[in-house]
Every structure is written in structure tokens, then in C-alpha cells.
């Protein structure tokens, strides 16, 4: 379905934004470190807007924003159509919200089973998890990413979080850490390579259900 525009200027502006996004994705795929902070700054409001439709708690929202960008950055090389990058980003954010809401509902939903004629307590409370496969893949990815980041050496972990989750440029990160910018580039590259190796199998499962 084609997008309709009220004015010629709106059509030109839309085409320009799409072209800029495509270029930014190509830079990400080319492992341009500065593209990560640019993408984060450009689309953080979009992700926040999508999340705020469903999540009102500020702490939960910030955590889901971070998880969304982490999932996107670590799987962007699997995009078949770079022009669909923003739709993919929004879909990740939406799935993260659903996952969060299901987890909260799961904690609150309990089923009481009466047990008769057994020498154990008469009532047992069980948590019910009505989770489809895509929910499981989404939850598994989030958990595995956090565990993998925890395995990074401290410098690599710090650089990766600053660039991917806080919108720092490599130059800003170098100044904040009081180190040479080449050290930032090197640590960021090593962190990404490590995480992609560690998460290869999990990412394949995730894309199977996206």
C-alpha cells in the first residue's frame, strides 16, 4: 500500500527521511561506529512513543528502550530489506512491551489446585505461563543479551553501553573515559564481535519468530 501525501513538499520530505535512514543502516552494516549513536538519537523518541502506549512506569520504559536498541543493533545484519528498518525497530519495541506485560500478568495470575487424599499440603499455587513460541524467543533473547554483556571485559562493556544505550559518540566516550578514541573504536568493535558470536544461536531463534 502506497503512502499518500497532502503536499509535494511532504512527499519530498518523506523520501529524504527514508533515504537518510537507508544510508544510516548501510553505515551500521559497514560497522561505522558513529552510526550507532546517530541511529539511537534519531529514533529514541520513536521507540519511547511506541513503548509509552503500553508501559507507564518510567523505570520499566527505560529498560525496554535499552533492550529494544540492543536487540536491533545486534541483529541489524540479518535485515533482508534495509528500507524496513524502522518498522523492524518498532516491532521489536512492541514485542518487548508485550513480553513485559505478560511477565507482570504471569506474576499476578495464580491457579489454586485442590489435592485430595495425598500426604502433601491441600493447596498448591502454580504460576501459569501461556506463552507462545515467539514470546519465549523474545524473552530468551533479552535474558541472553544481558548475560552476554555481563561477560564482556569492563572497558568493552562500558564503551558498548555508552554508545548503544546512552547515545554517546566515540569522541564523547573517549573524552568521558579520558582515553584515546582509537581505544574506544577497538573496544566497541571487540564487544560487538564477542556479542554476535555469543548470541548467534539465540538470534537465529529470535528471527524465526519475528
For the range 103-109, what are the long-range contacts, defined as Cβ-Cβ under 8 Å and sequence gap of 24 or more?
Answer: 103/139
Give 40: exposed, middle or buried? Use CB within 10 Å, 0-12, 13-18, 19+. Answer: buried
Confidence of residue 114 (pLDDT cuts 50, 70, 90): very low
Q: What is the pLDDT of residues 72-90, one digit of tens each?
A: 998 898 888 888 999 999 9
Residue 182 and residue 189: Cα distance in Å, rounded? 11
In this model, does residue 2 exceed pLDDT 90?
no
Mean pLDDT on 93-111: 78
Mean pLDDT on 29-37: 91
Confidence of residue 111 (pLDDT cuts 50, 70, 90): very low
Mean pLDDT on 11-19: 61
Query: Measured between alpha carbons, how far apart are the two ends of the chain, in Å?
Result: 21
Confidence of residue 1 (pLDDT cuts 50, 70, 90): very low
Tell me the domains of the chain and their CATH numbers. 8-209 (1.10.1740.10)
Q: What is the pLDDT of residue 202?
A: 75
Q: Which helix (H) or strand (E) holds 28?
A: helix 8-29
Mean pLDDT on 8-29: 74
Q: What is the pLDDT of residue 208?
A: 61
For 130-153, give the DSSP string: ---HHHHHHHHHHHHHHHHHHHS-
Mean pLDDT on 97-110: 77
Average pLDDT, the chain: 80
Grid cell in block for residue 147: 548475560
pTM: 0.69
Helix axes 58-75, 133-151, angle to 10 degrees: 90
In this model, does residue 130 exceed pLDDT 50?
no
Residue 46 and residue 153: Cα distance in Å, rounded? 31
Q: Could you give the percent of the chain with pLDDT greater than 90?
A: 49
Q: What is the pLDDT of residue 191?
A: 94
Chain centroid to CA 200: how far?
Answer: 15
Helix axes 8-29, 85-108, angle to 10 degrees: 80
Q: Specify the residue for cell string 528500507.
A: 83
Q: What is the pLDDT of residue 133?
A: 53
Q: Which helix (H) or strand (E) holds 19?
A: helix 8-29
Amino acid at each position: 500500500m502506497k503512502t499518500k501525501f497532502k503536499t509535494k513538499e511532504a512527499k519530498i520530505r518523506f523520501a529524504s527521511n527514508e533515504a537518510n535512514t537507508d544510508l544510516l543502516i548501510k553505515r551500521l552494516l559497514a560497522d561505522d561506529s558513529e552510526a550507532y549513536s546517530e541511529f539511537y538519537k534519531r529514533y529514541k523518541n520513536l521507540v519511547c512513543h511506541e513503548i509509552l502506549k503500553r508501559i507507564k512506569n518510567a523505570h520499566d520504559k527505560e529498560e525496554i528502550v535499552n533492550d529494544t536498541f540492543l536487540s536491533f543493533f545486534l541483529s541489524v545484519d540479518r535485515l533482508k530489506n534495509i528500507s524496513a528498518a524502522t518498522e523492524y525497530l518498532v516491532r521489536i519495541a512492541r514485542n518487548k512491551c508485550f513480553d513485559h506485560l505478560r511477565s507482570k500478568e504471569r506474576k499476578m495470575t495464580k491457579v489454586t489446585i485442590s489435592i485430595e487424599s495425598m500426604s502433601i499440603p491441600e493447596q498448591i499455587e502454580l504460576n501459569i505461563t501461556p506463552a507462545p513460541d515467539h514470546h519465549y524467543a523474545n524473552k530468551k533473547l533479552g535474558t541472553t543479551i544481558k548475560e552476554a554483556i555481563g561477560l564482556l571485559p569492563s572497558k568493552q562493556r562500558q564503551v558498548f553501553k555508552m554508545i548503544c544505550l546512552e547515545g554517546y559518540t566515540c569522541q564523547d566516550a573517549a573524552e568521558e573515559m579520558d582515553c584515546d578514541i582509537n581505544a574506544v573504536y577497538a573496544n566497541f568493535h571487540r564487544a560487538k564481535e564477542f556479542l554476535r558470536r555469543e548470541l548467534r544461536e539465540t538470534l537465529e531463534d529470535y528471527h524465526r519468530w519475528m
